[in-house]
Chain A
Amino acid sequence: DIQMTQSPSTLSASVGDRVTISCRASQSIGTWLAWYQQKPGQAPKLLIYQASTLETGVPSRFSGSGSGTKFTLTISGLQPDDFATYHCQQYDNKWTFGQGTKVEF
């Protein structure tokens, strides 16, 4: 099975910061990668699919990049509503998620 490793596990940031989260796959998955945002007590929300395509309605400060085994989620200008946990997910061979990255103040 393909393993997904996110880093860091926790990230301390302030409003206005540029935030970068990394996700690495144990083998190449092309661009079959998605990113989700999850807040406590809520369901995950799809942000990006196919590594870099923004889901409809997601603010443009979110962007994704990468291919193969290395991927990045960037938040350009962190907003108060962005403090949450972010998950990456691969779908090249069944589906597996990273362990999550918590963005906190």
Chain B
Amino acid sequence: QVQLVESGGDLVKPGGSLRLSCAASGFMFSDSYMTWIRRAPGKGLEWVSYITPSGSLTSYADSVTGRFTVSRDNGRSSLYLRMDSLTADDTAVYYCARESRASGSLLGAFDIWGQGTMVTVSS
């Protein structure tokens, strides 16, 4: 069964840190381009971070650059997001997702999503 399962969401104080995990199964995780996307309460979706299959290339939204770090462990079929210096603006449901491909070409859309994990930043 193809799926992504996030974990690690929690209530954390401003300035605190958190590490999210995303466990993949049912597809070739080691060949997949992966991303983190979030949705704050009452707002739209926001792309957060991206990592290539080998982990050699990463990118971040301006809003999290310098505070968030994405990584992966292909041996464990797992994706991670380390979040530091958290603020109330980081409160959101965080999703991991796979970038879709057809005939070997990346399509830039995301075809597999996890159910999300909630991060609340509040004192």
Binding site for B on A (CB under 8 A): 1, 32, 34, 36, 42-46, 49-50, 55, 87, 89, 91-92, 94-100
**Is B109 in contact with A49, judged by CB distance below 8 angstroms?**
yes
Residue of B nearest to A47 (CB): B109
Kindly name the residue among A36, A92, A97 whose own CB sees the greatest number of chain B CB atoms within 10 A. A97
Interface presence of B31 (CB below 8 A):
no
Cβ of A33 to closest chain B Cβ, rounded Å: 9
Category for how many chain B residues contact A: 20 to 34
Q: Point out the residues of chain B lying under 8 angstroms from A96, CB to CB.
A: 47
Cβ of A47 to closest chain B Cβ, rounded Å: 9
Which stretch of B73-81, B82-90, B111-119 is in the interface?
Answer: B111-119
**Is B47 in contact with A97, judged by CB distance below 8 angstroms?**
yes
**Is A44 in contact with B111, judged by CB distance below 8 angstroms?**
no
Bound-state CA distance A98–B47 (Å) is 11
